[in-house]
Amino acid sequence: MRDKIILKAPWELEILRRSNRLVAETLRELTRMVRPGVSTLELDRFAETYLRERGARPAFKGYRDYPFTLCASVNEAVVHGFPSTRLLREGDILSLDMGAVVDGYYGDAAVTLPVGRISGEAERLLRVTRECLERSVGAAQPGGRLADISQAVQGHAEANGFSVVRVFVGHGIGKALHEAPQIPNFVDAGQGRGPVLKAGMVLAIEPMVNAGGPDVRVLGDKWTAVTADGALSAHFEHTVAITEHGSEVLTLLDG
Ligand code: MF3
Ligand code: CO
């Protein structure tokens, strides 16, 4: 993705606020439904209906033939897990990733949720990965550089003994799900600090953090990415607009 970064006009930001708010609302509803005994396919059905009833459509379904509204990645699954009839169990961690299209503009966000009571190590992984997202959103400032975001994620994950996934990255977002720039969760020596962040950029920042090593492999379904060593993985994502004054998180609900 060497293309130009597309700056959004204020009227486009208005639409992006709506699509991203809807994603956040849907994830909030899903969060309330997650507990032992629920299947991720039920969550997928709910999410698709919820979006369509509000005049939106799922962003992932049909994207490169991805078959579902949600990515539902359990335990060692990193991202792109297929919703299934398997019932969630106490102690699982579940990453839910979801996109929506409203009036031609995309929203995208993800959370990792505990299913009932989870281990102390799993708790810590969720907390640190959420903090990686908060820190990287805070680092997304006009006049800064893209690598400020990457460094915020990698620094915090590795300081806590975890590793960041290399093969999947965050991205610009707008009239397409994936626009320039790619947003790695690590800094590459020799890659430079990346483009300057400017008001009008809209970025999907998505730390993927593994409790073990950084390597992943993809299952026979051609989508589900799991950790190579079988350790747990967590994923949080916000879509963020760079404004003159700082970063505005579009996938947060106030109150
Ligand atoms: N949040 C992920 C991304 O933006 C999810 C993509 S899943 C896909 O890359 F099905 F759309 F590929
Ligand atoms: Co994304």
Does the residue 100 lie in any domain? Answer: yes
- Contact between 213 and 163 under an 8 Å Cβ cutoff? The reply is yes
To the question of pTM greater than 0.85 for the whole model, the response is: yes
Q: pLDDT tens digits for 138-188?
A: 999 999 999 999 999 999 999 999 999 999 999 999 999 999 999 999 999
- Smallest CA-to-CA distance from 172 within 183, 187, 186 is with 183
pLDDT, residue 254, reads 80
Which residue among 79, 101, 224, 238 has the greatest number of ligand 1 atoms within 8 angstroms of its CB, and so is best to mutate?
79
Stretch 58-67: mean pLDDT, rounded?
A: 98
Does the residue 1 lie in any domain? Answer: no
Does the residue 5 lie in any domain? Answer: no
Place of tokens 């049909």: 62
| Residue 143: alpha-carbon gap to chain centroid | 24
| Cα 173 to averaged position of ligand 2 atoms, centre (Å) | 8
Which residue among 71, 78, 183 has the greatest number of ligand 1 atoms within 8 angstroms of its CB, and so is best to mutate?
71
Q: pLDDT tens digits for 38-52?
A: 999 999 999 999 999
Does the residue 4 lie in any domain? Answer: no
60 CA: nearest ligand 1 atom: 11
Place of tokens 């996938």: 251
Which residue among 61, 80, 101 has the greatest number of ligand 1 atoms within 8 angstroms of its CB, and so is best to mutate?
80
d(CA 9, CA 65): 31
Q: What is the CATH number of the domain that holds 66?
A: 3.90.230.10
Residue 93's alpha-carbon distances to 43, 98, 112, 115, 216, in angstroms, are 15, 16, 7, 6, 17
Domain boundaries, position 208: 10-247
**Residue 189 — very low, low, confident or very high, per pLDDT cuts 50/70/90?**
confident
Number of domains in the chain: 1
**Residue 190 — very low, low, confident or very high, per pLDDT cuts 50/70/90?**
confident
- Contact between 193 and 146 under an 8 Å Cβ cutoff? The reply is yes
| Cα 60 to averaged position of ligand 1 atoms, centre (Å) | 6
In the predicted model, is pLDDT for residue 255 greater than 80? no
Ligand 1, residues at Cβ distance < 6 Å: 60, 63-64, 66, 71, 80, 97, 108, 110, 171, 177, 204, 206, 237
Q: Which residues are CB-neighbours of 170 under 8 A, at least 6 positions away? A: 149, 182, 183, 184, 185, 203, 204, 205, 206, 237
d(CA 213, CA 233): 10
Does the residue 225 lie in any domain? Answer: yes
Q: pLDDT tens digits for 109-139?
A: 999 999 999 999 999 999 999 999 999 999 9
Does the residue 73 lie in any domain? Answer: yes
Does the residue 201 lie in any domain? Answer: yes
| Cα 205 to averaged position of ligand 2 atoms, centre (Å) | 7
Stretch 213-231: mean pLDDT, rounded?
A: 98
Does the residue 27 lie in any domain? Answer: yes
3-state SS string over 15-56? HHHHHHHHHHHHHHHHHHHCCCCCEHHHHHHHHHHHHHHCCC
